[in-house]
Amino acid sequence: MKTRITALILIISCLFTLCSCQTEPTVEKETSTYQVTRYVMNLIDIDFTPYLADAEMEVEKQNKKEFAYIKLHLYFKKAEDVNIILKEETNVDDAPYVRIPAFKNHRYRQELMAMKFTGHYIKVKTGGDLTESRHVDLYTCFEGQGDGREYYLYIFG
């Protein structure tokens, strides 16, 4: 009788641990320019504050891992300065054709696909040990014509 009760308890505890692993990710949204720039600084060690008109982000968190969707609206007149910084601080993807991953078909990806794409940059953020790394994709683009052009930097990672 004791072995049956012990087996039943073990089965139930195993089922609970299986269920706890399948949690839905939580999504945190942020529109505070200050909070977004702090997050970007922690993520890729680049400060875009002098070039920033507006910023917003969504961060998916699940099982101690997170994935960020970040949209930075930058001043178009500062586009060349931003490109220089990105070339110095990241790895430039100079492939003739850049495939933009689906990123769960996030709305920022859809916006990016509708704009004029200008560059793809890659940053790999390493953690405390070599097993912790985070791949970050940065895409620059603009929309509009002439003086009405808007410049954006999308960050996924």
**Number of folded domains in the chain?**
1
Residue 129 lies in a domain: yes
Residue 8 lies in a domain: no
In a domain, 13, yes or no: no
Pairing mode of beta strands 91-92, 150-156: unpaired
Tell me which residue of 73, 145, 91, 152 sits closest to 118, measured CA to CA.
152
φ/ψ of 135, rounded to 5, equals -85, 125
What's the helix, strand, coil split of the chain in %, to 5?
40, 35, 25
Query: In tens digits, what is the pLDDT along the chain, a chain of 157 residues?
Result: 666 666 556 666 665 555 555 567 888 898 899 999 999 999 999 999 999 999 999 999 988 888 999 999 999 999 999 999 999 999 998 877 788 888 888 999 999 999 998 999 999 887 666 567 788 999 999 988 877 789 999 999 9
Does residue 10 fall inside a structural domain? no
Would residue 12 count as lying in a domain?
Answer: no
In a domain, residue 139? The reply is yes
| pLDDT reported for residue 46 | 94
- Residue 25 has a pLDDT of 80
What is the predicted pLDDT for the residue at 128? 62
Task: Give CA separation, 42 vs 2, 31, 100, 103, 149, in Å.
Answer: 54, 17, 24, 21, 29
For residue 58, the model assigns a pLDDT of 95
Q: Could you tell me whether strands 52-62 and 133-143 are parallel, antiparallel, or unpaired per DSSP bridges?
A: unpaired
The verdict on residue 5 lying in a domain is: no
Q: Is 17 left (phi over 0), alpha (psi -120 to 50) or beta?
A: alpha
Q: Flag whether 142 is in a domain.
A: yes
Global model pTM greater than 0.95: no
pLDDT at position 75 is 93
**Following CA atoms 154, 125, 95, 111 in sequence, which dihedral angle do they give, to the nearest 10 degrees?**
-10
- Do 120 and 136 contact (CB within 8 A), yes or no? no
**Residue 80 belongs to what domain range?**
24-156
